[in-house]
Every structure is written in structure tokens, then in C-alpha cells.
Amino acid sequence: MHNLSIKELSEGLKAKRFSSRELTQHHLDRIARHDWALNSFITVTPERAMAQAAAADAQLAAGAGGPLTGIPLAQKDIFCTRGVKTSCGSKMLDRFVAPYDATIVEKLDAAGMVMLGKANMDEFAMGSSNETSWHGAVRNPWNPGRVPGGSSGGSAAAVAAGLAPAATATDTGGSIRQPAALTNLTGIKPTYGRVSRYGMIAFASSLDQAGVLARSAQDAAYVLQAMAGFDPRDSTSVDCPVDDYPAALDKPLRGLRIGLPDEFFAEGLEPGVRSCVEGAIKKLWELGAEFENVSLPNMPLSVPTYYVVAPAEASSNLARFDGVRYGHRADNAASLEELYKRSRGEGFGAEVQRRIMIGTYVLSHGYYDAYYLKAQKVRRLIYDDFKRAFASVDLVLGPTAQNVAFRLGDKGDDPVAMYLNDIYTIAANLAGIPALSMPCGFHDGLPVGVQLMGNFFDEARMLNVAHQYQQATDWHKRRPPGFE
């Protein structure tokens, strides 16, 4: 059952070939059997899952329910879930039990999906390898000695290993797309404001966006359909109609215009990765897409811009974790100042502390104009580059990552090398546009992803292109050895 698509699972449930309880138990059993080697879950919720599965079976027996009713999924541990620990991968929140559900949790519950548990993640979503989690590193199912990408590495590893049919994830600078590329999944980051951020613990509020990790574009389309939409509780949510994503999948690609930015194919791209991406371009051309060169001249500035803006917002957002209101509190502090210092020093890991310090510095008196304000101006230039590109093309295509999954521990002592893992993904977050990564081949036995970026609210077109590509290829159907 774990190799069936969401559409096939839905059809099987409605035809009573199996029940949601059987399907859910099957995935819980796989978690128990395999997750010791991956560490993809922080919390598994079997009682809640079986109760939701029973409710789904009752709904299906009554002839009701939708395409997601009874389908299991994993929730990234950044989304508040009522009555369940929401740790954000941090010691700071390891005892925090959310008193309410995030909007996307509510929406997916309403769609009849079954939550298997909370997926591991880089601490407060800060990382590109899922090695900064207080709960330990996540391992890549394709090679347990390699990283799965981050910060949504737990979600990615769980889906890639067949422990869940799909998972929620978040993307601040590539944290959906980069793990998708490194684990052979389809991952979509919607337009900023397309999916509610209410109940999602903030890292960088102007960049964070919730999305989906799944095995195929079709699976991602079904889940995103249930997640998307306006939420009055989120001031950044955009009130505009949501396209019918599954209905748009079968549109032919003839006449589609795709831009190839020179900056995405410059020095630093591994030859094996380049070869896979070029193969994807050829296949899309055979399917009717047209290609032309475009330029995003400010894209090389996206990494330094991001690592000013994101830490600044993190410094502000994480200031509330002080050991007084909620979160980790140090014992036996002699003064309020000592309580603050020790609680934050003990509760936050090294990477989170590094980014808080950078962010506090760039916002401080005398440095705000030199760093933060200048970064916001460059951010606008990056947006303008995309605006010009989309005047002549429908989508932009390039590699998702420079390389395949690297070894655990390889870049832990070099923060700059780690940050450069997001060189192809960050620009989409700075511009607020949607982006998607899909499997396009293997290099040295490890998955490679190709990235599509679209204009605002053009998720349907990206999912359509990915689906048509996946109808003509079988990369997305490959499974990691030992998890078939």
C-alpha cells in the first residue's frame, strides 16, 4: 500500500479494497520498523491516527468524504497541533504542547487526512541538512550516511522511505525544494500568502511559506488543494481564488515558454547534476515546451541578501523565548538577567544562536542602514529580475541544488559552505514567487532535482508541467533500496 499514489489510495478506500484503519496501521508499522535508522519523526501519534482513521472509515461508509479522506500524512513539527508536542526541533520548545491547531492542520483534518505524527526538522527551520535538530540528525533513505536536506528533512525522509504518502513542510530559503531534490520527491513552495501561516512557528516572517512534499506532482496537487486559501487570522494571507490544481494536471505543454537563466548554469554546478537537468530540458522540449535564455543578474546576491534579512527577522521572532512566558527555563537563576541568558543559551542550539546574533547586529544602531536596509533594496532588485523574465516566459527552470546529498558532518564546521547549498532556491523566497522541485535523474546513485519557478499564484502551471514530465519519465517512481 505504501507504493500507491494518493489517487490510487483514495480509489482503494472508496472501493473498500482496504480501510483507512488498515492503511494507517500499515504506515505506523513501517514507522516502527524503519524509522530507527532515519530519525524522521520526533513524535508518533498512533492513538490520534487510529481515531482519525476510524472517523474516515465511517465517513466513507456513509458515501461521503473527498479525495483525501482516510489518507495518512506527516506534519512537520513546526505546525501547532492541539494536544501534541510542537517542538520546532528545539530544546527550547521540547515541552510545549500546543493549545490550538495551525490553519493547515485544521484544513487537512477537515479534508479527512490522518496525522501519523510530527516530522523532525532543523531547529526553528534553520539549516540545510537537518543536522541542527535537538532531536538528532535525520538520515537520507537513499544513503543513511548522507543528509536528506533541510530544514524539512524529516518530512522528506518519511515520504521517500514510504513511511507516509505525503508530508507538510515549510520553505524559508529552499527548505522544501532542496530536501525534495536530495530524496527524489516533488516539493512545492507556493506563492507567499497562498497558504496560511497561522499556527506555523515563525523563523523569518516575510519569507516563510508552508507547502507539500510528496512522491509526485499529482499527489502534491491534491494536498495543496486542501491547504491553500485565504485565512483572516493571517495578516499575510492573500484573498484570491484558488485554482483547481488536480484539474490542471493534464493540460499539454505545447506552446509553454520556459526561461533558462545563465546564472543557474554557472561555475559550481556539479557536472553530473548539470547532465540530469539538461536531460529534463530535452524531455520537456520533446513534450512541446519552448526554451529561451533569460537573465537574473542579481541572483548571485540572493545568498548574502537572505543571510541579512532572515537572521534579522529571526532575531525579532525568537526574542519571545526568554524563559519567562513559555519555552525552556533555566533552573536556579540568581537574577532575571541570568534567567534570560541561561534559558536562551541552554534552549537554543549553536546555529540558532549564530543567526540571532547576526540578526541582532544588522538591526542595531549604526548598522541598520548599512546592512538591513541595503539588503531590502537588493531584494527588490531580485524581484524586478523575475518580473522582467516573466514578461517573456511562463516559467523559469534550473537545478534545485548544486550537488547531490553530501555526507553527514561534512559541512557542519563551515557555515558559509552550508549556506551556499541554497544558492538556487533563495531567490524565489526573496521575490515571493512559487517554486517546485521534481526528480530528474541520479548522479553517483543519489537523486537529482530540477526546479521550476513561476509567476505569482501560478502553482497550477508548475504542477501541470511537473505532472506531464512525470507521465513521460519514471524517475519519481524509483524507491530507495531497503524501503521498497
Active site residues: 76, 151, 175
Q: How far apart are CA 83 and CA 98, in angstroms?
A: 6
DSSP string for 40-64 = -EEEE-HHHHHHHHHHHHHHHHTT-
- Report yes or no: 226 and 242 within 8 Å, Cβ to Cβ: no
Q: Spell out the residues 6+ positions from residue 443 whose beta carbon is closer than 8 angstroms to its own.
A: 270, 272, 273, 275, 276, 404
Cα–Cα distance measured from residue 113 to residue 440, given in angstroms and rounded to the nearest whole number: 29
111 Cβ neighbours under 8 A, 6+ residues apart: 66, 68, 69, 226
| Contact in structure between 434 and 189 (CB atoms under 8 Å) | yes
The three cell numbers of residue 109 are 483534518
Beta bridge partners of 170: 210
The SS3 of residue 443 is strand
Q: How far is Cα 180 from Cα 148, in angstroms, rounded to an integer?
A: 8
